[in-house]
A and B are shown apart, each in its own frame.
Chain A
Amino acid sequence: MKQLNSILEGIGSAVLLTVRSFTMLPAAPRIIRRVVEQAFIGGYTSLPIVSILSFFIGGVLALQAGISMQSIGTKELIGTLVGESLVRELGPMIVAILVAGRVGSAITAELASMRVYNEVDALVTMNIPPERFLVLPRLIAVLLFMPVLTMIGIVVGWIGGCVVCKFVSFIDLAPEQYFQSLRAYLTAEHMFDGLLKAEIFGFCVVLIACTIGLRTSGGPREIGNSVTRSVVTSLITIIVLDFVLTKILA
Chain B
Amino acid sequence: MKKSTAARERQDRNPVPVEVAGLSKNYGSQTVLTDISLSIKPNEIFVIMGPSGSGKSVLLRQIAGLETPTAGTVRIAGLDPANPETRARFALALVFQSGALFNSLSVYENLALYPLEHRLCPKRHIRDRVMRALQILSLEAAAQKFPSELSGGMKKRVAIARALVMEPQLILYDEPTSELDPVMSATIGEIIATLKQEFQVTSIVVSHDRDLTLTIADRVAILMQGKLLTVCTPAELRETKDPAIADFLNPQIDLKNPRYKQLEVTT
Contact = CB atoms under 8 A, between A and B. Distances in A.
Interface of A: 30, 110, 113-114, 117-119, 121-122, 124-129, 133
B247 interface: no
A162 B76 CA distance: 69
Interface in B77-102: 84, 87-88, 92-94, 96, 98, 100-102
A117 B65 CA distance: 18
Contacts of A124: 65-66
Interface of B: 61, 64-66, 84, 87-88, 92-94, 96, 98, 100-104, 113-114, 117-119, 166
A177 B96 CA distance: 66
A119 B103 contact: yes
Nearest to A122: B100
Given A127-B118, A128-B113, A128-B114, A122 B94 contact: yes
Given A127-B84, A127-B87, A118 B117 contact: no
Given A117-B100, A118-B100, A126 B113 contact: yes
Given A121-B66, A121-B94, A133-B117, A126 B166 contact: yes
Contacts of A133: 117
Nearest to B159: A122
A184 to B, nearest CB: 50
- Which 8 residue pairs of A and B lie closest in terms of their CB atoms, listed nearest first? A118-B100, A127-B87, A122-B100, A125-B94, A118-B96, A128-B117, A126-B114, A119-B100
Given A118-B96, A133-B117, A125 B66 contact: yes
Contacts of A128: 113-114, 117-118
B266 to A, nearest CB: 28
B232 to A, nearest CB: 28
A153 B102 CA distance: 35
Nearest to A126: B114
Nearest to B117: A128
Given A113-B103, A119-B102, A121-B66, 13 more contacts: A117-B98, A121-B64, A121-B94, A122-B100, A122-B101, A125-B64, A125-B93, A125-B94, A126-B93, A127-B88, A127-B118, A128-B114, A133-B117
B96 A122 contact: yes
15 contacts: A30-B119, A117-B103, A118-B96, A118-B100, A119-B101, A119-B103, A121-B100, A122-B94, A122-B101, A122-B102, A124-B65, A125-B87, A126-B166, A129-B84, A133-B117
Nearest to A129: B84
Contacts of A125: 64-66, 87, 92-94
A33 to B, nearest CB: 10
Contacts of A110: 104
B228 to A, nearest CB: 24
Contacts of B117: 30, 126, 128, 133
A110 B61 CA distance: 23
B169 to A, nearest CB: 13
A207 to B, nearest CB: 21
Contacts of A118: 96, 98, 100
A127 B96 CA distance: 15
Contact of A121 (B96, B104, B166): B96
Contacts of B94: 121-122, 125
Nearest to B66: A121
A183 to B, nearest CB: 46
Contacts of A30: 117, 119
Contacts of B100: 117-119, 121-122
Nearest to A116: B98
Nearest to B165: A126
Most buried by A among B88, B96, B117, B118: B117
Nearest to A133: B117
Nearest to B102: A119
Contacts of B113: 126, 128
Most buried by B among A122, A124, A133: A122
A61 B214 CA distance: 76
A113 B84 CA distance: 24
Contacts of A122: 94, 96, 100-102
B130 to A, nearest CB: 14
A118 B93 CA distance: 13
B98 to A, nearest CB: 6
Nearest to A125: B94
A204 to B, nearest CB: 25
Nearest to B119: A30
A40 to B, nearest CB: 14
Most buried by B among A114, A121, A127, A128: A127
